[in-house]
Structure 1
């Protein structure tokens, strides 16, 4: 092991301890309070809630992320599942199930009015009472978020958000074998309700993963498809009804997902409409969709040539767009953001995007160690050449055959993205949402749980890939 490799190993070990502590610090934080003074309320998290960020902020300048997001909480709990060092993981997940079960009983028509307690300058941010009153039953899970105390979010926000039920159902199904028998009926009820919500609103538009644009989105549709497929297998295993309905809905989504491939052979992140920002058709959300869905092979997996072509375009964009990628660690593997033209806070690099880039390559390393072949097309050849080199991607070949060298080069490329993230991570291991594209300073929400979760899932996949590579060798 060379000194550079030893350095990354030591950093991973240290950062794991920090990130695992950060996950614990986001879940069931009953000891915290958060005042939303402009609205005259104090939020005290309930057991089982998952905070996107436990740091109290009020857009001063950091954003207020003291909420339980449905999608984020599922991502964080998935990271908890693969973090074996967190001994209390099963108990925390049981609390998460109970908290989500209680949310099913929320009724916006019974929510207290906030107008009297809200300052005049904050009235514009209040949700219309009629909009809030319409939220009940399975519609609660199509909210983007709820307050950490288990009440409905009374502020204006992007709704509906259809990836929430899909993300939660996937996480519950993947945890299934570790869920205690006493809480399994509740978990099954949640999965059934989430799948019903997906099927009932299959053809309706949704806001995207970034909660900015209403329409049809690759991330949402692929996550829903994955949830339907995983649930169908679980229902069959348990002898529960619903497998056929899930399979039918998944087939409809598969037909729709084929429409996201553009003429150049890469995936658009949204289906164009009159109000679509064309720059956002290239979006890291596509890669998150593939990683969160986690298909083993075929279309919409890391082995899909169109997915690889999409990643290459994203990498090339951020390599050119961000000054921090012109020299230093970012020159070898760029710090990754969300999409071209992003102006949210610094509009810069995101920790979870850069860790996702690493996880993408580690997943390819794992797949090839397990025997996967890589088709070579006009669209993905440049990606394969960048990762593997001309000696492994011959001009006259139509496929890259698995070998220890192929797996090792994907591992090396994934480590390059980890090293870029490490270069912009302070010695404390704290991970905000973004780091500035010009000087690398941390910006936006502090101690973002998703940033830590993305590190943990990436390094878990790295460990899997390295173990498979050892067996392969």
Structure 2
């Protein structure tokens, strides 16, 4: 079946007319909105059924690749997470870099979307098998995002929530102020989804207070952003086109559904989310082209025009890119897009088996006819020959995509962003974190490792779409500790050292031998300032003084009275106390 690209905006998610793998696509809201399937932009050419003798050989080859690549992928994924990742020097704790590359292209930033999709995989992996190391990473990610939400940026600030739509930040969590496609409205929804999954695990394992006190405030900010801005346009996940995106709307819908459910578990009000979710679902239907029976985000067999796909039969997988019109690096296959095609198919097989049947409707008939030419509409039970024929064929087809990755994987299993459409050598950013997450996610789906279901709260599609929004409040978590920089202005002589001493342990408990030395690194004749940064508890009240310790060890106290200071108890994790020597 050959479809045309009907999406002038080149929207992100591409599930062609055969996409009603699981009932009509207008009601298919599963992993297509997450890492595995959103980028499915291939024409699903269909395998023949006369190759069953090759099934075991094919499976063995893919099995072998997945086994060897899995250890590389998880190692490299963790290398790209600060601050102790092997590729993450000077990266803030919990921050995910897109790639270690700093030029040609410079991907040494953190994207809200990429990080959320990566941590959605990390959370899923953790839930499937407890790992204390992964849990620490998840906790650090949540803490970093709580801080990042409060960083004002070109998209806005936390005060009205607009700043949550900023696409990327510097790796030290400062704002990126260069030109970019902004805002991007999928990030908050995806981040909420990743954290909600972890919050649900916390609740199920007796840590409801942690979910409520630590995770919920961060999730709530993102959910309130979605509820307020869901019907406004933004740049798609490829950051090139401003408009409405199937992927973004679907991600927002899922976040609202899961957010309402989590709110209920925590005894919070989730009405804003449950009221908006049906409207988002209704809008999601507008991407459906009823006359052609496909989603308005489709790519045709045109990927087959690439040299890398020449000679591949119509019944086999091909290397998949973002869209055929792509000009970035001259347009090439992407590892994550090719893996997404595989994951979508593995997901479909899993759902069919869970349902115990495959239903062929008027919408999905064209898909299944490519598999079984004599098939007609109806429901085929899992114990039927037709059911087995379909699932065998789809499994073979999905494995074909993984085999392409195996063929063009980089040296020692490293995955870049793209591979050349002519000869398959890796291109663009090296060690792309998203590529590793895409591989690991697809491998899990093939192995039958499936994340917890979220569809229990699916809303009904309204008869008429609305555009209601809710402007919820946003807030940052109150800091528990604050890095206070004490600045003392005093003219000193060579060999002098200014120290601070006070009534708490961090300041020596008035013991001058335990006083904290200040630094003169910024000292000038016009600004004779000494500085020291000390971590103190938020809200703590202290008394302190400065002393001048001479080269010979003698010391001079500044004059009375003792200084007093109360550490701010706000969202800020940094504060400055400026003083002048009391003489």
- Between stretches 370-379 and 4-13, larger displacement belongs to 370-379
1:356 to 340, 346, 359: 340
Q: C-alpha separation between the residues in 2 aligned to 1:67 and 1:181?
A: 33
Aligned to 2:320: 336
Verify: 1:412 aligned to 2:412, yes or no.
no
Of residues 102, 118, 122, the one that matches 1:76 is 118
Matches within 5 A, 1:320-399: 320-327=304-311, 332-371=316-355, 373-386=357-370, 388-390=371-373, 394-399=374-379
State the partner residue of 2:72. 18
Deviation for aligned residue 1:443: 0.7
Question: Does the Cα contact within 8 Å between 1:71 and 1:163 map onto a contact in 2?
Answer: yes
Contact 2:80-2:87 at 8 Å conserved across structures: no
Q: What is the Cα deviation at residue 372 of structure 1?
A: 5.1
User: What's the RMSD between the two structures over aligned residues?
Assistant: 2.5
Q: Hey, what does 1:402 align to over in structure 2?
A: 382
Tell me: CA distance 1:236–1:427, structure 2 relative to 1, closer, same or farther (3 Å): same
What's the secondary structure of 2:169's corresponding residue? strand
Q: Pick the aligned partner of 1:259 from 286, 290, 302.
A: 286
Offset at 1:93?
0.4
SS of residue matched to 1:83: helix
Query: Which consecutive unaligned segments of at least 5 residues does structure 2 have?
Result: 1-54, 451-583
Give the whole-Å Cα distance in 2 for the aligned partners of 1:13 and 1:32.
Answer: 22
Measure how far apart 1:68 and its partner are: 1.1
1:46-445 aligned within 5 A:
46-53=92-99, 55-59=100-104, 63-83=105-125, 88-108=133-153, 131=154, 134-137=156-159, 138-179=161-202, 183-184=210-211, 185-242=213-270, 244-262=271-289, 263-269=291-297, 282=298, 314=299, 316-318=301-303, 320-327=304-311, 332-371=316-355, 373-386=357-370, 388-390=371-373, 394-403=374-383, 405=388, 406-445=390-429
Deviation, structure 1 residue 427? 4.8
TM-score by length of structure 1 reads 0.75
Higher-Rg member (1/2): 2
For the residues of structure 1 that align with 2:142 and 2:119, how far apart are their CA atoms? Answer: 11
Q: Is the 8 A contact 2:339 2:402 kept in 1?
A: yes
Question: 1:204 Cα shift?
Answer: 1.3
Detail structure 1 runs of 4+ shifted over 6 Å in the superposition.
Answer: 31-34
The alpha carbon displacement at 1:328 in A equals 5.4
Q: Contact between 1:94 and 1:183, CA under 8 Å: does it hold in 2? A: no
Quick one: distance in 2 between partners of 1:341 and 1:93? 37
Distance 2:345 2:227 in 1: 33
Q: Counting helix residues as a fraction of each chain, which structure ranks higher? A: 1
**Conserved 8 A contact 1:361-1:411:** yes
In structure 2, do the counterparts of structure 1 residues 440 and 87 end up closer, same or farther at CA, with 3 Å as the change threshold? farther
**Does structure 1 conserve the Cα–Cα contact (< 8 Å) formed by 2:257 and 2:274?**
yes
